[in-house]
Amino acid sequence: MSIIDDMAPVMGPDGQFHAQDEAVDLSGTSLEAWVALGFFWLLGITVFYQFFTRYALNNSASWTEEIARYLLIATVFTGATIGVIKNNHIQVDFFYRFMPKKLARVSASLVDVMRIGFFAAATVLCGLMMLKLGSTSRMTMVDLPMNWVYGVCLLAFAAMACRSVQVALLHRRRGYTVLEQPESTMQDR
């Protein structure tokens, strides 16, 4: 039996096209994904407002470019957290194919520890920078503190550090990482 035989027919007896969508399940969507979606929608609304005021009203709102830039930063940083959760950031697994299993396991564990250390250090450095800036540094067009932008980055780095710990614990429990077995995914729990 082929795959085509297993598929439901799309043409009904009446000669019309009939297709049914699968049910949408958002239960596995992480908090970070919802936050990133919120920032993305705010970015879209801001850019649309900028477009409308510039081309329809011929009187561009000056604040929209700066706010759009900061919303893009927020979207990227919260989106990066999703990449940590799914463990699908860019990685090179070529050398793991040729390493002895024990060396590959130690090396993959070291990668997990270094990832946690990097995100923890980035969180601390972002916090120190925010303390150094204080409330004196303001946005250019909108009179708001720049620490709001850096605060989003700090929270994203902290979330990435926490999620990296979760990923490392999962790797330890499974006994392998995606580096060692690239055909596996985070859903293979």
pLDDT digits (tens, 9 = 90+) for 17-76: 777 778 888 888 889 999 999 999 999 999 999 999 988 888 888 888 999 999 999 999
Record the pTM. Answer: 0.80
Does residue 21 lie within any of the structural domains?
no
Q: What is the pLDDT of residue 5?
A: 54
Give residue 129's domain range: 31-174
What is the rounded average pLDDT for all residues in the chain?
86
Q: What is the pLDDT of residue 161?
A: 97
Residue type, 80: A
Ramachandran class of 142: left when φ > 0, alpha when ψ lies in -120 to 50, beta otherwise: beta
pLDDT digits (tens, 9 = 90+) for 76-122: 999 999 999 888 777 777 788 888 889 988 988 999 999 999 999 99
Does residue 155 lie within any of the structural domains?
yes
Q: What is the pLDDT of residue 1?
A: 47
Does residue 7 lie within any of the structural domains?
no
Q: What is the pLDDT of residue 123?
A: 97
Q: Render the chain in DSSP notation, one character per residue.
A: --HHHHSPPSB-TTS-B---PPPP--TT--HHHHHHHHHHHHHHHHHHHHHIIIIISS---THHHHHHHHHHHHHHHHHHHHHHHHT-S----TGGGTS-HHHHHHHHHHHHHHHHHHHHHHHHHHHHHHHHHTTT-B-SSS-SBTHHHHHHHHHHHHHHHHHHHHHHHHHHHHT--TTT-TT--TT--
Percent of the chain at pLDDT exceeding 90: 44
Measured in whole angstroms, how far is the alpha carbon of residue 111 from the centre of its chain? Answer: 19
pLDDT category of residue 6 using cuts at 50, 70 and 90: low
pLDDT digits (tens, 9 = 90+) for 34-44: 999 999 999 99
What is the total count of domains within the chain? 1
